[in-house]
Amino acid sequence: MNGDPKDQREILIVEDSLTQAMKLQHILERHGYLVTGARNGSEALSSLKTRLPRVVISDINMPEMDGYELCRRIKDGEQTRELPVILLTSLSDPKDILKGLECGADNFIVKPYDEEFLLSRIQYVLANQELRKNSKGKEGTEIFFAGQKYHLTSERIHSIDLLLSTYETAVQKNIALIKAKETLETQAEELREKNAEMAADLDMARELQTAFLPTSYPGFPPGAGKESALRFCHRYQTTTELGGDFFDVFALSGTSAGILICDVMGHGVRAALVTAIVRGLVEEVHSIASEPGKFLTEINRSLCAILKQTQTPLFASAFYMVVDVERGHVRYANAGHPTPFHLRRGTAGVVETFTGVPGKTDTALGILEHSTYSASQREVESGDLLILFTDGIYEVEGANGVYFDMTLLKEAVARRMRQPCAELFDGLLSEIKQFSKGGEFEDDVCLVGVEIARATKAPAKPA
């Protein structure tokens, strides 16, 4: 066996994890220690036969021979019994301490360890090495703990040393917990502040989104007031702070109005941003708003150009119509949106569904850049009511698992055919909420009604 280790700064690391061993070696070498390594207890004992370090630092859980057995053999060896052994442990069980006392370990270092704590523990062991050498006598003691017997032969000073080490570790853990608690409290306060800021931002965004919606409607002709040939009504509610539904009503002439309703995929901020984009595009292509097909085609082209720059697929369904009371008809185009109802409240007393161009299915906005939308036309008469809506009004699950579908919606509307539009909408919403298993809507809901107060009958088409 070579040399007296007293003046050396050599430490033997016994660790089967290469990553952990290199981490520990890097710390020790940066502070002037000479480091040698072994992958398990057997290799460590072989190394100790040729060279004695100042300290052995060993992991506990290793193949072939664990850290407890290695420590026991070191303490039983005539040439190695004074060699300090520090065990790396999680100290997750009080039995770890008893096993450490039983095998004669000098100290514990708890993983994961703080660098300064590790170095101070090594310095402590080296400083007390002579004191441990001079302690006299070994008193054997058998104790029982958790159903197991432990035979402790450590010197009294050594036992106190190890227990102090354990206590110091507990104190360090407690300090770490206090710091972690303080950090969490600070982060929680920061999170509360961020949440408050976010809530304020959402409130502002909701106010802006609400400002996009009509608060008053145009008269036909302008200034007609209650005598307007077209009267409007709407109901709008969202399931989150920000919704994806949107509608607009605007005058195209003294006798015609444009009505747009759209539903953006999803909810929240993302959907609200797309509705804002659509609102801007409506203003941009307003000059062709009297032609429903071209109107939706241009909005779609511009929306696709914007959305193709995003990574997340986004789209919006939309329905746009132009009601002309002078000609007694409505022209409309559909971009994948639920078809509106036409309530003929005269002598017929029926609820009809808008029909599109036969054999043609129009896709939602924002999917295919080169999609074109065709316009259809139907006649309207005085007393008729046109109802536009988003799919949140009928995709509602009931308590028995049955959905309030389009058929049930049409029947509910038919039962209220003669009611004023506002009364019809309120009764309809109340009925669907009662039908819902949760008593509320699961999606954003938008209803827009257009009452034809006066219309000139469209001229008959020539035979």
Indicate whether 209 belongs to any domain.
no
For residue 279, give its domain range. Answer: 214-452
Instruction: Clarify whether residues 101 and 160 are in a common domain.
Output: yes
Amino acid at residue number 405: D
Closest CA to 76 of 161, 153, 137, 156: 153
Q: What angle do CA 177, 183, 184 make, to 5 degrees?
A: 90
Instruction: Clarify whether residues 74 and 168 are in a common domain.
Output: yes
- So what's the pLDDT on residue 143? 44
Q: At 88, which CATH number?
A: 3.40.50.2300
- So what's the pLDDT on residue 220? 93
Indicate whether 74 belongs to any domain.
yes
Measured CA distances, 275 to 89, 92, 214, 329 (Å): 58, 56, 14, 28
- So what's the pLDDT on residue 381? 93
- Asked if residues 239 and 442 have their Cβ atoms less than 8 Å apart, the reply is yes
pTM of the complete model? 0.59
- So what's the pLDDT on residue 194? 84
- So what's the pLDDT on residue 463? 43
Indicate whether 189 belongs to any domain.
no
The number of folded domains in the chain is: 2
Q: Which residue numbers in the chain have pLDDT < 70?
A: 1-8, 91-94, 130-174, 199, 201-212, 240-243, 267-268, 357-361, 457-463
Instruction: Clarify whether residues 238 and 329 are in a common domain.
Output: yes
SS3 call for 335: strand
- Asked if residues 158 and 132 have their Cβ atoms less than 8 Å apart, the reply is yes
Instruction: Clarify whether residues 305 and 399 are in a common domain.
Output: yes
- So what's the pLDDT on residue 123? 86
